[in-house]
Amino acid sequence: MPSPAKTNREQYIVDGKGKKKGVILPLAEYEQLLEDLHDLAIVAERRKEKPVRMEQMKHRLKQHGRV
């Protein structure tokens, strides 16, 4: 079995019958998945909010010193 540190793709952990039970991912890929999951959670939380116009957002950001 190749070393997980040298592979570019995922590796599956299988049981005695060959059924997939787990996965080994490169760390960078795992971290990206966590970030994507976090982003999706934020989108889901804010789904019912009203949209804000670009000019309004720019004004808010300037008021708070973020632009």
Q: What are the residue ranges spanned by the domains of the chain?
A: 4-63
List, for residues 15-61, the tens digit of each pLDDT value: 999 999 999 999 999 999 999 999 999 999 999 999 999 999 999 99
Residues 6+ apart with CB under 8 A from 60: 52
Contact 4, 24 (CB under 8 A): yes
Query: Token match 């949209």: residue?
Result: 51
Model pTM score: 0.59
Residues in the chain: 67
**Residue 8 — very low, low, confident or very high, per pLDDT cuts 50/70/90?**
low
